[in-house]
Structure 1
Amino acid sequence: MDSADSTAGTAPAGKSVGTCLPPGDFGVVLATLRARHGWSVREFARRANVSEGQICNLESGLRNPSPAVAAACDAAFGTGGELVELAGSGRRDARTDDVVEAGSMITGYERVLGELKGIGRSTGPRFVTASMKSITRTLTDAGQHAVGEQHADIWLLASKFAEYTGWMAQEAGNTAEALRWTNLSVRWGAQGEDETVAAYALVRKASIAQHRGDTYAAIGLADQAVRHPSANPVIRAHAARRAALSHARRGDAEACRDALEQFRSHAAEITADRPPHWGPRIENGSPHLLEASCMLSLRRFDLAAGLFATELGPAVPADSNSRARFAVRQATALAGVGCLHDACRIVDATLPVIKLIDSATVRAELARFVEEARSRRASPGQLALINASAALATG
Structure 2
Amino acid sequence: MGDFGVELARLRTRSGWTVRQLARRAGVSEGQISNLESGRRNPTSSVAAACDAALGADGELIRLAETTRRGTADRSLVEVEPLVAGYGRILEQLKDIGRSTGPNFVDAALRSAARVLTDAAPRAEAHRRHEVWLLASRVAEYTGWMAQEAGNPAEALRWTDLAVRWGANGGDETMAAYALVRKASIAEHRGDPAAIVLAGQAAAHPATTPLIRAHAARREAQGHAHLGDHGACHDALQRSRDHAREADRPGVHWGPRIENGSPRLIEASCMIGLRQFEQATDLFASELRHRPERPPDSNSRTRFEIRQATALAGIDRLDRACHLVEALLPTIRILDSATIRTELGQFAGHARGRAATPGQRSLIETAAALAHGRG
Secondary structure at the counterpart of residue 264 of structure 1: helix
- 2:277 aligned residue: 301
Amino-acid identity (%): 61
Secondary structure at the counterpart of residue 290 of structure 2: helix
- 1:3 aligned residue: none
- 1:118 aligned residue: 96
Q: Is this contact kept in 1: 2:225–2:233, CA < 8 A?
A: yes
- 1:256 aligned residue: 233
Instruction: Provide the rounded CA distance (Å) in 2 between the counterparts of 1:126 and 1:162.
Output: 16
Instruction: Provide the rounded CA distance (Å) in 1 between the counterparts of 2:172 and 2:239.
Output: 25
Gaps of 5+ in 2: none
Instruction: Provide the rounded CA distance (Å) in 2 between the counterparts of 1:92 and 1:58.
Output: 16
Aligned-partner residue type, residue 286 of structure 2? T
In the alignment, structure 1 residue 130 sits paired with structure 2 residue 90: no
Instruction: Provide the rounded CA distance (Å) in 2 between the counterparts of 1:297 and 1:92.
Output: 58
Of 349, 357, 368, the residue aligned with 1:390 is: 368
- 1:220 aligned residue: 197
Secondary structure at the counterpart of residue 73 of structure 1: helix
- 2:127 aligned residue: 149
Instruction: Provide the rounded CA distance (Å) in 2 between the counterparts of 1:53 and 1:350.
Output: 33
Shift of residue 93, structure 1, vs aligned partner: 1.6
- 1:73 aligned residue: 51
Matches within 5 A, 1:226-305: 226-271=203-248, 273-305=249-281
Label 1:95 to 1:88 Cα distance change in 2 as closer, same or farther (>3 A): closer
Q: Is this contact kept in 2: 1:61–1:94, CA < 8 A?
A: no
Aligned-partner residue type, residue 61 of structure 2? L
Aligned-partner residue type, residue 277 of structure 1? H
Of 306, 310, 313, the residue aligned with 2:289 is: 313
Instruction: Provide the rounded CA distance (Å) in 1 between the counterparts of 2:63 and 2:87.
Output: 20
Question: More displaced, 179-188 or 40-49?
Answer: 40-49
Of 52, 61, 65, the residue aligned with 1:83 is: 61
TM-score of the aligned structures, taking structure 2 as reference length: 0.94
Matches within 5 A, 1:1-395: 12=1, 24-61=2-39, 64-88=42-66, 92-215=70-193, 217-271=194-248, 273-315=249-291, 318-395=296-373
Secondary structure at the counterpart of residue 342 of structure 1: helix
Aligned-partner residue type, residue 239 of structure 2? Q
Label 1:355 to 1:175 Cα distance change in 2 as closer, same or farther (>3 A): same
Output one character per residue of 1:308-357: Cα deviation in whole Å (capped at 9) or x when no partner: 01111235754111111011100010010011111111011011110110
Secondary structure at the counterpart of residue 28 of structure 2: coil
Aligned-partner residue type, residue 289 of structure 2? G
Q: Is this contact kept in 2: 1:133–1:165, CA < 8 A?
A: yes
Output one character per residue of 1:206-228: Cα deviation in whole Å (capped at 9) or x when no partner: 0001111112x111111111111
Aligned-partner residue type, residue 263 of structure 2? P
Instruction: Provide the rounded CA distance (Å) in 2 between the counterparts of 1:314 and 1:95.
Output: 55
Shift of residue 60, structure 1, vs aligned partner: 4.6
Instruction: Provide the rounded CA distance (Å) in 2 between the counterparts of 1:393 and 1:61.
Output: 34
Output one character per residue of 1:84-129: Cα deviation in whole Å (capped at 9) or x when no partner: 3454467532242224333101111110100101111111101001
> What root-mean-square deviation, in Å, do the aligned CA atoms of Structure 1 and Structure 2 show?
1.8
Output one character per residue of 1:198-244: Cα deviation in whole Å (capped at 9) or x when no partner: 110010000001111112x1111111111111111110000000000
Instruction: Provide the rounded CA distance (Å) in 2 between the counterparts of 1:196 and 1:117.
Output: 21
Instruction: Provide the rounded CA distance (Å) in 2 between the counterparts of 1:92 and 1:165.
Output: 29
Label 1:333 to 1:41 Cα distance change in 2 as closer, same or farther (>3 A): same
